[in-house]
Amino acid sequence: MTTVSRTFDVQPEPATVISYLKDFGNAEEWDPGTESCTQNEPGPVQVGTTWRNVSKIAGVSTELTYTLEQLTDDTIVLVGRNDTATSTDTMTVVPNPDGPGSRVTYEAVIELKGAAKIADPIMKIVFEKIGSDTEDDMTTVLNRLAG
């Protein structure tokens, strides 16, 4: 199992950040591995909404079905599943204690299944790099929302 976590500050208030991040279709804008992410059924985003996410990680394409499993005023939990992995992405958004805006904590827990578990040590290195790129991209995209 690989866990990657980043905490960073952005300009928009928490409600704006939560409203944007709960729609996982927006991952195309802030997740460097995501090639496409489309909502599976029309309608408002709420607990139970699912997305088809196609990502390329270390040159390998993979598809996961993500489900919005928790949505509160300060927390979003999205779980992606396929035959070889489960990815649990938890985003916590609180008022920035050091000033205006929000403090975002993004944690991804990736559990490889079956034979894929052998790649865990290598994937930790890959996902740490992706985590840093995600922090940079998400900060840029979220700060645009403040403007």
Domain ranges of the chain: 2-146
Q: Considering the chain, what is the average pLDDT of its residues?
A: 89
pTM of the full predicted structure?
Answer: 0.89
Helix (H, G, I), strand (E, B) or coil at 1: coil
Q: Tens digit of pLDDT for each residue in 59-116?
A: 778 899 999 999 999 999 999 999 988 999 999 999 999 999 999 999 999 888 865 5
Give the count of beta carbons closer than 10 Å to the beta carbon of residue 140: 12
The CATH superfamily holding the domain 2-146 is START domain (3.30.530.20)
Predicted local distance difference test score (pLDDT) of residue 142: 96
